[in-house]
Amino acid sequence: MKKYVIIYLFIFFPFGSYGQITKLPEIIMNIAEELAADDNDPEAVAIYIERLYDLAENPVNVNSADENEVSRLFFLSDFQIKVLTDYVHSSGKIISVFELANLPGFDKETAEMMIRFISLDAKMKLNQDSVRLRSASLTNISIKPGNSDSTSLGSAWKILSKYKFTAGRLSGGFTIEKDPGEKFLTGKSPQPDFLSFNLAFRGSGTMRKFIVGDYSARFGQGTNINTGIRSGLSLTSPGYMSSKDEIKPYTSTDENNFFRGVAAEFDFRNLGLSLFYSNNYSDATLVSSGYSENYIENFYKAGIHSTSSQLLKKDAISDITCGLNLSYNFNNLRIGLTWSEDKFSLPVYSVENDPENIFDFKGYRNNLYSVYYNSFIKRILLYGEFSTNEYRKYSFVQGLSFRPSDRLTINFLFRDYSAGYMSFHGKGPGSSSSTSNEQGILANFTFEAAKHLFISGGCDNQYFPWLKYRCSIPSWGRKKELRVKFLPTDNLTIDASYSYSYSMVDSSQNRGIPQQKQVVTRSIKGTVRYALYDNLILGTRVDYKVAGPAVSKGTLLLQDINYRFRYIPVTLWFRYCLFSTDDWDSRIYTYENDLLYSFSVPALSGEGTRTYLMAKWEIKDIAELRVKYSTTSLIKGNSNSADTDEIKIQFRVIF
């Protein structure tokens, strides 16, 4: 009973907080929506948003001229990181953020995006050495009134609690989460449904980093090890292609995508060495095969344990992962080697004799070997990675980033993942969730066509040489996007984009080999954001989408109002949104402001309205309270409507 009380106290009476968090620029909303629309990577938005909040909490000291430090700005390309550090080395410290916009490879848009996440304070580095305990904790509670499911084991509340401390070079924290419908405490020795913790040391000498507990890792292009954001290129966004090697404490809530154990990062002048060992439990569906032992039918990634059958899948197997990464820096060339091994407590076998699964991984153990590089040659950045397993199945990535002029960037990315290649903790650039069974080439450009006018566009051609989910023949896919952004004044942004996607899926027929139908989606989006005063921002957005073989249509019109009171520390966000879509295929994603370290990108389909009001109350420098009320009203035939409400509350305190 006593330990329940202690846990309860941690959750409902948090005792720490970080400082002021600035608002996210709208480019981040665009990227978040793009990531959310990618059904293959549902956790990407969560990781992305969390990393942005981390950056806002601990801004990057760009004047440090340290590539490791600057590359914490993960949305910058390797090219931009190199330019920034070289500039500080050669020209001295950056005095104003506006200086950034004039650097080769940067523009006003990128500089504005960086403003929230950088510091120009030269003393910042020294502060890291001083031992001063900073604790932070936040607690979220989400309630959906009237939304109870009798089959659920627990309450309909969602509870999330995070605690983090920093004391000089030492940091640590824990995360507790309970999803709607889950029991708060589960297992033989009751503990929260999801409990994650870490303790990390950040050194300045040979040992750069040492982590005990939960951590994430990424090396090279991520085809071997990458439990963070997928590296690679967006069709029109300038960023998130950095391929920085890193291990970092894990603070997210994806219950099946992190390591638990020990990791260390060493630096011997130009030689870098990372070692990691993890013994974690994963969710899986097990099947008893009678005479022989159980085997793993599939891995359960949803992380929801609200019913008895889902609870049976929780932590069903143990997964031991170990590996090392070696990298060496030459002048303009970095090369790296990565080895990793996964060992499961039970063997993995295919679900059934489905041709789609012929190349799937089978057995206990998976070894992967990778070699990667990146190199700068004047205005060209080249990067690539080759990985293979014991069965000689491989993955290959080759990219090129080229800046023929300060106003033009051109990128190419080629990838070839053979059907039998499998990485359980990897995530290479590409369109599918697994780094497997895909070939493709992506090209994009960003062009500053005139003062304050930016045009960007891209095309990604994909080929899937073997069968895949919902497609019984080798198939093709294509995505194209064109975006025009105009920033005529500091307080006005006009953004318009057109996107196109093509894919093939099985038609629904019961007998024989299904025929394929072509699914084409086209959408047009226009956004205007206007800062009337420094404390009042208005945003308007119009969307039009045509999707699928049924040529279903979707439209959306929304209005945002963001107001910060001058004399009381309260900020309000209000959105009123009307949408109308013919079916699920023409659904429209809209990013919403949400609680700190949380995100909301609802997929709106059907006909109705979506409204939310969020208030933030900063109680001096010691606490912050956020409350969000949102409601979705869907018309259900004959002029009736069904409303779904949600209330979210977040509380943070400093001590």
Partner 1 sequence: MSSLRKLSVSAFLVFLSLTSSGGDHYRLKAGAGEAGVGYVCVMKNGFWSSFHNQATLAQNNSLSLGLNYENRFGLKELGTRTAGIRIPAGNASLGVVYSHFGYTDYRREMTGLACGLKLSDIISAGVQVDYYSEKTTDEYADNHSVTCEAGLLILPSENIRVGIHIFNPVPNSLRKLYMPSTLRIGAATNLNNSLFTGIEAEMSSGSKLIIRTGFEYEVMKRLWLRGGFGTNNNSFSFGLGYLTKIVQTDISFSTHEKLGVTSSVSFIFKIH
Chain residues that interact with partner 1, rule: CB under 8 A: 492, 530, 532, 536, 538, 540, 542, 544, 553, 555-559, 576-580, 607-609, 611, 631, 633, 635, 639-641, 643, 645
Residue 531: CB minimum distance to partner 1, A: 10
Q: What are phi and psi of 252, to 5 degrees?
A: -85, -175
Cβ atoms < 10 Å from Cβ of 399:
24
Could you tell me which residues are beta bridge partners of residue 414?
398, 441
Give the nearer residue to partner 1 in terms of CB position, either 151 or 638: 638
Residue 562: CB minimum distance to partner 1, A: 13
Residue 146: CB minimum distance to partner 1, A: 10
Give the nearer residue to partner 1 in terms of CB position, either 227 or 581: 581
Sign of the dihedral defined by the CA atoms of residues 290, 292, 294, 299, in that order:
negative
Pairing status of strand 60-61 against strand 118-119: parallel
Query: Rounded distance, CA 642 to CA 635, Å?
Result: 6
Q: What is the b/e burial string over 414-449, where b = at least 16 CB atoms within 10 angstroms of the residue's CB?
A: bbbbbbbbbbbbbbbbbbbbbbbbbbbebbbebbbe
Give the nearer residue to partner 1 in terms of CB position, either 507 or 640: 640
Give the nearer residue to partner 1 in terms of CB position, either 272 or 608: 608
Give the nearer residue to partner 1 in terms of CB position, either 205 or 637: 637
Residue 520: CB minimum distance to partner 1, A: 20
CA distances from 396 to 116, 371, 383, 416, 472 (A): 35, 10, 11, 5, 25
CB 634 within 8 A of CB 607: yes
Give the nearer residue to partner 1 in terms of CB position, either 461 or 611: 611
Residue 551: CB minimum distance to partner 1, A: 14
Question: What residues have CB less than 8 Å from 98, skipping those under 6 apart?
Answer: 111
Residue 449: CB minimum distance to partner 1, A: 23
Give the nearer residue to partner 1 in terms of CB position, either 175 or 552: 552
Give the nearer residue to partner 1 in terms of CB position, either 323 or 539: 539
Q: In sequence order, what DSSP letters do the residues of 589-607 get, joined into one string?
A: E--B--STT--B--EE-SE
Query: Rounded distance, CA 387 to CA 400, Å?
Result: 19
Residue 580: CB minimum distance to partner 1, A: 5
Residue 608: CB minimum distance to partner 1, A: 6
Give the nearer residue to partner 1 in terms of CB position, either 286 or 578: 578
CB 438 within 8 A of CB 429: no
| Closest listed residue to residue 383, CA positions, set 234, 601, 221, 594 | 221
Q: Give the chain's length.
A: 655
Give the nearer residue to partner 1 in terms of CB position, either 318 or 535: 535
Query: Rounded distance, CA 49 to CA 29, Å?
Result: 9
Q: Is 137 helix (H, G, I), strand (E, B) or coil?
A: strand
Residue 160: CB minimum distance to partner 1, A: 26
Residue 568: CB minimum distance to partner 1, A: 18
| Closest listed residue to residue 399, CA positions, set 380, 377, 384, 385 | 384
Cβ atoms < 10 Å from Cβ of 271:
11
Residue 529: CB minimum distance to partner 1, A: 12
Give the nearer residue to partner 1 in terms of CB position, either 95 or 568: 568
Which strand (E) or helix (H) includes residue 4?
A: helix 2-12
Give the nearer residue to partner 1 in terms of CB position, either 247 or 537: 537
Residue 641: CB minimum distance to partner 1, A: 4
Half-sphere exposure of 393 (CA within 13 A, CB side): 19
CA distances from 204 to 66, 110, 211, 607 (A): 12, 30, 15, 56
Chain centroid to CA 602: how far?
16
Which strand (E) or helix (H) includes residue 476?
A: strand 475-489
Give the nearer residue to partner 1 in terms of CB position, either 419 or 556: 556
CB 609 within 8 A of CB 577: yes
Residue 481: CB minimum distance to partner 1, A: 21
Six token digits for residue 63: 């004047």
Q: Is 317 helix (H, G, I), strand (E, B) or coil?
A: strand
